[in-house]
Amino acid sequence: MRVGTATTDPGETATGWLDVTTLPTGGRERLPVLLAEGTGDGPTLWVTAGVHGDELTGVAAAQDLLDDRLPDRLAGDLVVVPTVNPAGLRRTSRESYYHGDDPNRYFPDPDADQYRPPRVQQRIDEALFDAVTGDEDAPVTDAAADALLDLHTAHVGSLPFVIRDRTLYGDRRDEAAAEALRDDLAALADALGLPVVTEYTDPEYTGEGLHRSLTGAVTNEAGVPALTVELGTHSVVDETERARGVAAVYRALVNLGALDTLPGWVPDTEPITSGVDYRLRRAVHPHTDTAGLVRHRVAVGDVLTEGDPVADVVSPHGEVRATVATDHDGVVLGRGEGMAVYENDPLASLAVRDEAPLVVPREES
């Protein structure tokens, strides 16, 4: 197996680099690569992290995935890229410093209109996508992904959870193939031991460019099951969630048939659930109509019913100006950061009851 400068034979681990662009001051921007090649045939799982440079727990979890004992237990391959956005990591910033916009919105979408040549962040994203999918022009041989997990973090103090994309059909696949892809996503997501939350419904999903995120593009452009794993707090490594992330990846290897059981060196973490028996989707909700200072009335993980109060908005003197309630049944994933809010600012991130279809015609997206 070869990914960039990293090469392995069966039963080996290796590290190396994947060059992605040239720097104006000389040298190359490159992504670190870790490989484990099993002694038997099986699937290839890719794990990426750090596409947002301040989401550090995912980086640490990805770094900790390889163990010298793994290849002898493995049927298949594990490819890890623990830092997808080194320019953001250098500054502990969500964005790269190339253009100041979200690096997780430039993965390929052939249907997107583009009037100017791709700039550096898009070129980096496309190089990584080609490597993941085994494009013939990519610096990869025999390592195309059969599944991908992209490790992130969410809000300060947030609940860890898994995000799955809705599957699209049209020019790239028919409805039956999209349904099979949906089922593969569901099985992989359920195996990770974390609450499963489906991405936003349209038009928010495409309006926010999430079909051009790494997992959105790998799922809906390449047709490979890909999930986003949110591991709690950003800007610092949370050791509890780091261990949970390592365990989630190993559970994925078991689900894919690359491992028979969890090895003894995997962190002992208990699976967590959402606490509800209905399907969930992401929602930035609720918003406030009133400016002021927020005093939350909920905690992360709380189960809400439509009409339950989420927060009070108070004056600088502490007098209640408004009480903001939820319009949905759901679960609190995270609370908004800071205290001061303006009109129409969001107060929380919820996972709410999802009744929208998981398989969607491409023309509707």
pLDDT tens, position by position, 224-276: 999 999 999 999 999 999 999 999 999 999 999 999 999 999 999 999 999 99
Residue 268 lies in a domain: no
pLDDT band at 207 (very low <50, low <70, confident <90, very high): confident
Nearest alpha carbon to residue 311 among 336, 280, 275, 276: 336
Does the residue 22 lie in any domain? yes
Looking up tokens 């195996």 gives: 191
Strand order in the sheet with 6-7: 6-7, 2-3, 140-141
Question: How many whole angstroms separate alpha carbon 174 and alpha carbon 170?
Answer: 6
Cis ω before 286 (30° cut-off from 0):
yes
Other residues' Cβ atoms within 10 Å of the Cβ of residue 274: 20
Percent above pLDDT 70 for the chain: 98
DSSP per-residue letters across 218-273: HHHTT---EEEEE-S-SSS--HHHHHHHHHHHHHHHHHHTS-SS--TTS-------
| Domain shared by 239 and 320, yes or no | no
**b/e burial code for range 159-184 (CB count within 10 A of at least 16 → b):** bbbbbbbbbbbbeebeeeebeebbeb
Q: Is the pLDDT of residue 138 over 80?
A: no
pLDDT at 125 over 60: yes
Is 346 found in the same domain as 220? no
- Averaged pLDDT for residues 17-36: 94
Residue 265 lies in a domain: no
Residue-wise pLDDT tens digits, 280-324: 999 999 999 999 999 999 999 999 999 999 999 999 999 999 999
CA torsion angle for 180, 186, 187, 190 (degrees, to 10)?
180
Angle at 126 between CA 120 and CA 13, to 5 degrees: 110
Structural domains in the chain (count): 2
Both 114 and 203 in one domain: the answer is yes
Does 284 lie in the same domain as 249? no
- 264 within some domain: no
pLDDT tens sequence across 160-170 = 999 999 998 98
In terms of phi and psi (left: phi > 0; alpha: psi -120 to 50; beta: otherwise), the region of 182 is alpha
- One domain for residues 288 and 203: no
Domain identity same for 225 and 302: no
Residue 227 forms part of a structural domain: yes
Same domain, 111 and 154: yes
Host domain of residue 237: 2-256
Question: Which CATH number fits the domain that encloses residue 289?
Answer: 2.40.50.100
Q: Does residue 39 share a domain with residue 182?
A: yes
Q: What is the pLDDT of residue 281?
A: 97
Domain co-membership, 219 together with 79 = yes
Tell me how far apart the alpha carbons of residues 195 and 228 are, in angstroms, rounded to a whole number.
12
Q: How many CA atoms lie within 13 A of 167 on its CB side?
A: 24
The reply to whether 210 falls in a domain is yes
Question: CATH number for the domain including 171?
Answer: 3.40.630.10
Domain-embedded: residue 263: no
Q: Are residues 183 and 317 in the same domain?
A: no
In a domain, 83, yes or no: yes
